[in-house]
Structures are given as structure tokens and as C-alpha cells.
């Protein structure tokens, strides 16, 4: 029975860390591919994703080695780091899921103001929008290159503010609304941001629970004696009786 329990715990911990390593490789490969295809041009975003992937890969490798060799020290550090990651990821995921519209607007506004002109132009091109809110924020940071966008090309405008959204209400009784020009980016980005925040929060909660499972498995596996060894030494399967 003890042998089966030991083998099951070892196999479960090995499989869990192999899963983490595969996810880490995806986190490294996808941003690199996206950058090579010019889907993203933000060095900080690409670097952060690749860095997180490298950290996850090395961390998973530590857990895999600890599981394969039943190494007490490796498993201890693995449990400590995994516990910290679980707490941080759980808190971050709850924050993403619970974010409201007002907080979302503040985050987007601060991000737009702190972004470079190149990043703002890339966002406008990607979402076919002009400016952030076409109001207060754009009076502080005037939009650029709006006349080159698809939503403004047919209007033959040369002034950026002339590309702003213009809605005309038709006569009674239908009062049909006719729209010309470009929507503000806050309108289009907020929908994508809200969806991404909810999905990221849900995925983060799922992985925080897998990390909790990993902690439980590591604790039980670390305290389980290797039945194939007559004697165990500190750092390799515990202490002898």
C-alpha cells in the first residue's frame, strides 16, 4: 500500500510539473513568434511574457528533479515558492474578475497617458479608432495619424479632430442614427479589456488551484518514505528510522 501511495504521488507530481513546463514553453514561443511576425512591437510586453515563461520553466524543472530524486531540499524550496505563487496568483485573479467599469476606465486612461506615441498609433491602427475619449484626455494628448485610418480615409480629412465620431439623428418618426468618422479607442478597447480581464482571472484561478494541489502533493510526497531504499539520508527521501 505504501509503495502504491509513493508511486502515485511521484507520478502525479512529475506529470504536474511536465504540464507546467509545456505551458512555459508556450509562454516563451508564442510572444517570440508574435514579435517576429510584427503582431506586437512592445519590447516590455514581449520581454515580460518570455521572462515569466523562463521562470516557470526553471521552477518546473526544479520540481521535476525534486520529484524524480525524492530530494527533500528541492521539494522544500519548491513548496515554498509554489505557495507564494499560489497566494499572489489567487489575489491577482480575484482582482481581475472583480474589476468594475470605473476601475477599468481609470486603468485604461492611465495606460493611454503613459504610453508612447508609437504605441498609441499602433492601438489606433489595430482597433481602427481615433484618440482615447475624444474629450478631456485627447485635449491633453492630441491624437496623431487618425487621417491614415480606414474609418477616416473616406472622409478626406486632414485635421485629426475632424476624424472624430459624428452621429446624426434622423427625422421623426424613426430617428435613425447615422455615424461617420472614428470611434474613440476607449469605446473599443474597453470591451476587449473587460473580456481579457475576465478570461485571465478565470484562468489564473484555475492555475492557482492546480498550484494548491501541487503543494499538497509535494508535502505528502516529501513525507512519504521511498520503499525501494533500505536506508534514507537527509536530503534524499528523509531520515532513517
CA-nearest of 153, 136, 150, 142 to 120 is: 142
What 3-state class would DSSP assign to 180? strand
Count of residues in the chain? 241
| For the chain, percent of residues with pLDDT exceeding 70 | 78
Q: What residues does each domain of the chain span?
A: 2-101+191-222, 130-183
Spell out a b/e string for 66-98, using b for 16 or more CB atoms within 10 Å of the CB, else e: bbeebbbebbeebbeebeebbeebbeebeebee
pLDDT tens-place string over residues 179-206? 677 888 888 888 788 888 888 888 888 8
Q: What is the spatial distance between Cα 110 and Cα 97, in angstroms, rounded to a whole number?
A: 20
Name the pLDDT band for 178 (thresholds 50, 70, 90): very low
Q: Is the pLDDT at 156 greater than 80, yes or no?
A: no
Q: What is the pLDDT of residues 21-44, one digit of tens each?
A: 998 888 888 777 766 655 555 666
Residue 154 scores a pLDDT above 60 = yes
Q: Pinpoint the alpha helices (H) of the chain.
A: 2-36, 43-69, 72-98, 101-114, 117-127, 136-140, 150-153, 185-222
Per-residue confidence band for 14, with pLDDT thresholds at 50, 70 and 90: very high
Whether pLDDT at 1 is above 70:
no
Task: Using alpha carbons, list the distances in angstroms from residue 156 to 14, 124, 142, 144.
Answer: 62, 18, 19, 15
> What does the pLDDT read at residue 40?
57
Q: What is the pLDDT of residues 38-97, one digit of tens each?
A: 555 566 667 777 888 889 899 999 999 999 988 889 999 999 999 998 898 888 888 888
Could you tell me the pTM of the whole model?
Answer: 0.68
Amino acid at each position: 500500500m505504501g509503495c502504491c501511495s509513493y508511486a502515485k504521488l511521484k507520478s502525479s507530481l512529475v506529470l504536474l510539473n511536465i504540464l507546467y513546463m509545456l505551458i512555459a514553453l508556450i509562454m516563451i514561443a508564442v510572444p517570440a513568434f508574435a514579435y517576429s511576425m510584427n503582431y506586437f512591437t512592445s519590447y516590455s510586453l514581449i520581454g515580460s511574457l518570455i521572462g515569466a515563461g523562463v521562470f516557470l520553466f526553471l521552477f518546473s524543472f526544479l520540481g521535476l528533479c525534486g520529484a524524480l530524486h525524492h530530494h527533500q531540499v528541492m521539494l522544500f524550496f519548491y513548496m515554498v515558492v509554489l505557495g507564494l505563487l499560489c497566494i499572489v496568483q489567487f489575489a491577482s485573479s480575484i482582482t481581475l474578475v472583480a474589476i468594475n467599469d470605473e476601475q477599468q476606465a481609470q486603468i485604461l486612461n492611465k495606460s493611454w497617458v503613459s504610453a508612447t506615441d508609437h504605441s498609441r498609433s499602433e492601438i489606433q491602427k489595430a482597433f481602427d479608432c481615433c484618440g482615447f475619449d475624444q474629450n478631456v484626455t485627447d485635449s491633453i494628448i492630441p491624437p496623431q495619424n487618425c487621417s491614415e485610418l480606414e474609418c477616416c480615409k473616406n472622409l478626406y480629412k486632414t485635421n485629426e479632430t475632424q476624424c472624430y465620431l459624428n452621429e446624426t439623428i434622423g427625422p421623426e418618426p424613426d430617428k435613425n442614427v447615422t455615424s461617420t468618422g472614428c470611434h474613440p479607442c476607449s469605446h473599443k478597447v474597453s470591451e476587449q479589456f473587460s473580456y481579457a480581464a475576465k478570461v485571465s482571472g478565470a484562468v489564473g484561478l484555475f492555475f492557482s488551484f492546480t498550484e494548491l494541489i501541487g503543494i499538497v502533493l509535494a508535502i505528502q510526497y516529501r513525507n512519504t518514505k521511498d520503499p525501494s531504499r533500505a536506508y534514507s539520508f537527509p536530503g534524499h527521501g528523509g531520515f532513517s528510522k
